[in-house]
Amino acid sequence: MTSVQSSASDQLPAALGGFDLTDQAQFAVGFPHEVFARLREEAPVLWHPPGKTVDGEGFWVLSRYADLVEASDDPVFSAQGGGGRAGGGTHIDDLKAGVHAGVLINMVDDPRHELIKNLVSPSVTRQVVESRTPELRSLASDLVDRAVANGGCDFQPDVSAPYAIQTIALLLGAPREDWPQLLGWGQAVAGFDDRSSGKVNDQATATAYAIYEYSKKLIAHKRASPPSNDLMSVMSLQDIPADQGENPLSEYEREAFFCLLLLAGSEPPRNAMAAGVLALAQHPEQWQALRADRSLLPGAIEELLRWSSPTPYNRRTATRDVTFRDAQIKAGDKVTFWWASANRDASVFGNPGTFDIRRSPNPHLAFGHGTHSCLGEQLARIEVGLLLEELLDKVAEIRVTGDVRWAPSNKHTVTLRMPVELVPASA
């Protein structure tokens, strides 16, 4: 299906100032906050022409905080699909129903989505994650120790990426001897895309297939092992309650869950930590304030998440005709929620373009909003905090020593290269 809106002019609206949100290359210098500041002011609900989309369709762009909160609470906007559309999902281009849309937990609507979330959520509660704190701290400590001993590092691939991937591997229950392979896969792709190019290519496809094959082996391993409370033990051995009116989990849903969590459970935190540490390096007075007063750490974690907005947008599909603000959105239209824009909305955040670890309140939408808010937000806060604590204990100054390079991706805010010098703290 192609939305009737797709017949509109292919010319970019003036409010975009020539910036095409579908052109991945334009994101290679970081997220275009100046573009979204203009959208929030001039065109908060904007129809974007097809641009460089694969399926040649346009889409709606929502950029204001209040609009995103309202729309994400409205079930007319589906994470799965609908409105007569064959595909769906959370990317601008359609993902195939039964492969991604309608299978991955973040692309399934309620009530099934809520039932699956209720099934696995007990494995990532704050209490459960805190019980793993010694292991998580050890992971962070080893990586920081190595980087400090070397005088510095390329922070994202050397520290935040292995830490985030090892953390989610631990919570998933993957055997430690498999972690190097999981790290290799996580270093090759960002979501469905090749990490360096921001595009789906042969390497990205092969990596996704390898992760899927591994998930089948891990499920077999879990079923042959004593029950545990890790995510893949739960997903391998338990099921949706039979009295809820939903079909049992399919084997493919169980396998796809691992594929999603390995990447979606590591991609946002690794990028948030890298972008956050970059902000602290660029604002050394705030790093020193944090070193002097650890009570500022909870607020610093929230500001780091707001500032980095590691998942810039999620897409939804209108399941029926609806008027939103003054926009006539048709059944099947794609609607994109730009969380990174909401996190710089001046109607909610004073001086939104200023990085401020003392910011309070800080109701950011880095984890999304509504029923599809991030499953692992408590895990993310704890793992970010543990890494910062290790850095605060061991690093006096963080100095950027070269150009920071961003991935050409509108779906993930990825620092590909972030060389830093880590000046050791005195004993």
Peptide bond into 268 cis (omega under 30): no
Helices (H), 98-201: 112-120, 126-131, 133-149, 155, 161-172, 179-188
Provide the pLDDT for residue 3: 44
Provide the pLDDT for residue 392: 98
Provide the pLDDT for residue 9: 53
Provide the pLDDT for residue 301: 98
Q: Considering the domain 4-422, what is its CATH architecture? A: Orthogonal Bundle (1.10)
Structure tokens at 371: 């029923």
Provide the pLDDT for residue 307: 98
Provide the pLDDT for residue 200: 85
Provide the pLDDT for residue 65: 98
SS3 state at 138: helix
Q: Are 136 and 167 in contact (CB under 8 A)?
A: yes
Provide the pLDDT for residue 427: 53
Provide the pLDDT for residue 426: 82
Burial 275-292 (b: 16+ CB within 10 A, else e): bbbbbbbeeeebbeebbe
Give the whole-angstrom CA distance, residue 335 versus residue 332: 9
Q: What is the pLDDT along the chain (427 residues), one digit of tens a residue?
A: 444 444 445 799 999 999 999 999 999 999 999 999 999 999 999 999 999 999 999 999 999 999 999 999 999 999 999 999 999 999 999 999 999 999 999 999 999 999 999 999 999 999 999 999 999 999 999 999 999 999 999 999 999 999 999 999 999 999 999 999 999 999 988 888 888 888 888 998 999 999 999 999 999 999 999 999 999 999 999 999 999 999 999 999 999 999 999 999 999 999 999 999 999 999 999 999 999 999 999 999 999 999 999 999 999 999 999 999 999 999 999 999 999 999 999 999 999 999 999 999 999 999 999 999 999 999 999 999 999 999 999 999 999 999 999 999 999 999 999 999 999 998 5
Provide the pLDDT for residue 313: 98
Q: Are 329 and 335 in contact (CB under 8 A)?
A: yes
Q: Report CA 66 to chain centroid distance, whole Å.
A: 21
Provide the pLDDT for residue 196: 85
Work out whether the CA dihedral 31, 416, 164, 420 comes out positive or negative: negative
Across the strands, what pairs with 61? 46, 336
pTM: 0.95
Peptide bond into 111 cis (omega under 30): yes
Provide the pLDDT for residue 34: 97
Provide the pLDDT for residue 54: 93
